[in-house]
Each structure stands twice: as structure tokens, then as C-alpha cells.
Amino acid sequence: MLASLIEQPKPLLVLAVILVVGVASGALAKRLRVPSVTGQIVAGILLGPIFHVFSHSTVQGMAPITSFALGLMAVAVGSHLNVARLSGATRRLVILLVCEALITPVIVYGTVMLTGAATWTTGLLIATIAISTAPATILAIVKETRSKGVFVKTLVAAVALNNIACILLFELAHMVALTSLTDGQDIGVAVWLEPLKALGYALALGGGVGVILVLATRHVVRSDRLATLSLIAILATAGLASQIEASALLSCLFLGIALANLSPDKEEIGHEVFDSFETAIFAIFFTLAGMELNFDYLGEAGILAVLVFGARIVGKLLSANIAMRAAGATNRVRKNLGLALLPQAGLAVGLMLLVTEDPRFPEDVRGLILALVLTVVLLNEIVGPIVARIALARSGDLGKDRARLIDFIHEEHIITDLKADTLEEAIGRLTDVLIRRNNLQVDREKLLASALQHEEWGSTCLGEGLAVPFADLEEGRRIVGAVGISSEGLAFDTPDGEPVHCMVLLATPPSQRDHRNEVTAAFATAILSDSNIEHQLYHARSPAHAYELLHHDEAEDFNHFLED
């Protein structure tokens, strides 16, 4: 009986052992000041390829669990692609997407071709796989480090778009390679349409399930039923995608995107219902990922793998730097984004398997891609999480996912081109921003009238270019706001005769009036008592610059953490 237990352990026992090892190794890694992900991957390597505690077939039996975990994380990543919340980041995300889709694969492809170790079709496949960044790894590190800010928003959204681009370009490269290698046919229109078909399948599946889930939970309030419906939705999306041979990752990404945009304020559905099990899910996923890594191909891949690994790093750093410069991003984002995009895992292996398990490819091509991709992924999974954590720390976003006094002011709530001829017109424009960016279901004219009425009772211009008008919300539980900045200044009739450079419009329900007074005092303290912050805020080049100024470490004097 004991021998059977050791040689043929039951799946639930294997799962229990993996969970214990994963949680313990993650905790140990944190004590050593490295990401939990790294500790869990290393523990998995020890359990699997080093000491062979469990057989390869036993690890493969855990595939449904890892598929669900990856689908869950893909939904979470997709949920960061809310159109309204990303309005201020659109320019830098679009430019980054273009740069990532061009620069990284070109550098990797050139490196492979210069070595002369592979054909052009093999180089094309390897180059497109190099685009991918591991969404699960990034999400796990962001959550573990409680990071929040412009950098994190850009990073997570970029990873989602990055994976979409990777899958589409790989589909194209895959079809081009097959057409060229198998029968020497000319590359026709059907080949170029293949990526669009893959995108269409994933969009229809993920978006369709998202619509059904939103409709099904419209009148559901019980948490157990919300969790059940969310579980069904994620399993159905991943399962149906596998059944029709579509991309499960891409389908789950679109499910998350659909939920984020169709029900942005209903966080009780989708990935959020699994928050209580988040630590366990991450521990199992990354420990299993380490167990599946294979050292047998290190020698076979040789120097080419090291060159591809280095070329991918250069491509990521260069594409992020060029994109962020072109988009006018802040220095913290520009200098660190490329480092945070280095982790690579599940998607790369999944795309690799589409080639290595396809008999239409020659055996030598399959062998080279298997050895090369597994080795590069191994290097990226060990180095990537550590570097990504360093990037988060250098960006200033690490540890910021805690409630702050003006935490409700995000990048998308700030405009830096406020123009108006009258105070009423300026308040009207900020009212539009406030309603649109906060998804408020209120009467616009009624809200504007409330702000103007308060203005009649007493000017909200606090002096030295700062005005903090406010309006009343009849219902709701949270304070919302919008910030307008004018570097030239708005020539209104103000008590001190100074033009208005910064206007902060607040809308508060009855329960948040004290919070509103604290926020007003915080802005007054920040601007009226610190000429340096005043000058920088009044001349902020973009909403991202203004946001960083209001939320950086030095801002804790006025924008303090509420738990402190």
C-alpha cells in the first residue's frame, strides 16, 4: 500500500503536496526578498526535473487545473482593458503595441538568421513566440507587491494587448511556415486571413460568454450564486475554446474585457469571486509550471538559446523605451516598462506545442523549436520575475495598492488641456469628464446645477490658481472627482485676482461630506504650501505626470494612506 502511494499517488494527494510546497516556497521567497513566483517555480523544478518526485504523466494529469488557473488569470488581465479607464493611456498603449509587434520579433529573427542555425520559416516562428509576456507572472507579482499606479495600469494592459498580438502574428507565421514547408505553395489570401479567424473565434466566444454572464447576474446578489456562475463562465470559455481549437488564453482575455466594459462597477463576477483562493491558485500554477520545465534540452539548444534570450531582452527594452518616448510617458514608466515585460511562460510553451506536435513540420524543425523555446522560457521564468519586481520598485508603484485620501483620482480623471471662457463653462466640462470617466448614472444638468449653486453661495477658488468646486450626489457610497489643469491659466473673476490653473470638481453622496472637506484641505495643503508641487502640477505635460505628482512618495504629507 505504501509503495502504491509513492509510485502511483492519487491526483488529490499530488495536489495537496504541490499546494503545501508552493505556499511554503512562496513564503520563503518573500522572506528572501524575491517574488513568490520565483520561489514556487524553483520548488517545482526541484520536485520535477531535479528529484523526479512525481512522474511526468502525473504532472500532465494536473493539466485541467493549470488550464483553469491560466484562464482565470487571463480573465483578470483582460479586466484591466476597460476603455474608459484606459482613455488617458491609449496613446502609449497603441504605440507600445506597434513597437512590440515589430521591434522584438525583428531583433530575434535577425539573431536567429545571423547564426545560420535555422531556416527562415523556423526563425519566423521563434521570433513571433518571443513577443509574448507571461500574464500570470505579471499579475501575481503585481498583486503580491500590492502595486498600483500609472506604471501598473500601463504594464497589465500592455501584457493583455501583447498576448493578443503574439497569438495573431504566430497564427500568421504558423500558416506561412506550413504553406512553405509542406507543399511549397504560394502564400495565398487564406493564409493572411487565418489570424483574423483566430481573433474572430476568441472574440465571439469570450465576448459571447461575457454577455451571457452579465445578463445572468443582472438580478443576482447572493455571493455563492455569483461565484458559481462565474466558475461556469470561465470553465465554459476555456473548455469550448479547446473544443473548437481556438486560443483558450485569447478567449478568456476577451471574457475579461467584456466584463470590464459591460459591467465595470460589478466586481462580484468574473475573477474577483476567487480572491479568497488567489494565493492557493497562484501557488499551484507556478509550482506546476516549474515541474513541467525540462533541462534535457539545455545542451541541445546551446548558444543559440542564450543568443535568443539576450535578443529578446534587447527587443523588449528597446521597444518599450522607444514607445514611451514617442508617447511622452513619464521617466519612471519609460525606464522600467521594458524590464517588467521580460517574464515568459505558458503562452510561449502552448504556441511551441502547436509546432512540435504537428507532424507536417520536419522532425529537425520540431526538435530545434522544442529545445530552443523550452530553454528560453526556463531562463525567462527564473530571471523574469526578479527583474519585474525590481522594475515595479523603481517605478514607484510598489506597495501603493492601499487606500489613500485622494485615491479616487486616477489618470483617466485628469485633463491637462482645460479651456473655458467662464467658470460655469469650466465646471461644465469637468462635469462631463466626471460623469463619463466614473460611469455615473446621474442627470448631467442636475449635477451641474448643484455645483453652480454651491458656487453662488460662496466662491470655491482657494487662491493661487486653485479652485475646488463641488456638487451633491443624491445616492451612492463613494466620492468621485475630476481634475482640470490649464498651464496658461483661466482668467476668471477670482477673489485674489489670479487665473485658475487647477480645478478639482468633487461629487459626493451625503455620507462622504467629511471626506470631501479632507480632500479639499489636502489639495490646498499640497498646492498652497509647496511652490514646487504647485509649479509642476500647473504645468503637467500629461494626465500621467499629474497623477504621479499627486501619488508619489513625497505626496504622503497630504495624500496619506488611510490605514496609517
For 243-264, the pLDDT digits (tens) are 887 888 889 889 989 988 887 6
> DSSP letter at 56?
H
Which class is domain 411-557? alpha beta
Q: Is the pLDDT of residue 186 over 60?
A: no
* C-alpha cell read off for 393: 520598485
> What's the CATH code, domain 11-395?
1.20.1530.20
Q: What angle do CA 332, 337, 343 make, to 5 degrees?
A: 145
Q: What is the pLDDT of residues 284-307, one digit of tens each?
A: 888 887 787 666 666 667 788 899
- CA dist., res. 121 & res. 102, Å (int): 17
Contact 506, 519 (CB under 8 A): yes
Q: Name the burial class of residue 312, with classes exposed (0-12), middle (13-18) and buried (19+) by CB atoms within 10 angstroms of its CB.
A: buried
* C-alpha cell read off for 210: 461575457
- Residue positions counted in the chain: 564
Let me know if the fold of 11-395 is the same as that of 411-557: no
Q: Cell numbers 517605478 label which residue?
A: 395
Query: 500-517: buried (b, 16+ CB within 10 Å) or exposed (e) per residue?
Result: bbbbbbbbbbeebeebbe
Question: To the nearest 10°, the Cα dihedral for 175, 289, 371, 183?
Answer: -20
Pick from 270, 306, 259, 312: which is nearest to 110 by CA? 312
The amino acid that residue 21 corresponds to is V
* SS3 of residue 33 by DSSP: coil
Q: What is the pLDDT of residues 394-449, one digit of tens each?
A: 998 888 877 767 778 888 888 988 888 888 999 999 999 988 888 888 888 998 99
* C-alpha cell read off for 271: 475573477
Annotated domain spans of the chain: 11-395, 411-557
The percent of residues in the chain predicted with pLDDT above 90, rounded, is: 20
Contact 162, 192 (CB under 8 A): no
The amino acid that residue 346 corresponds to is G
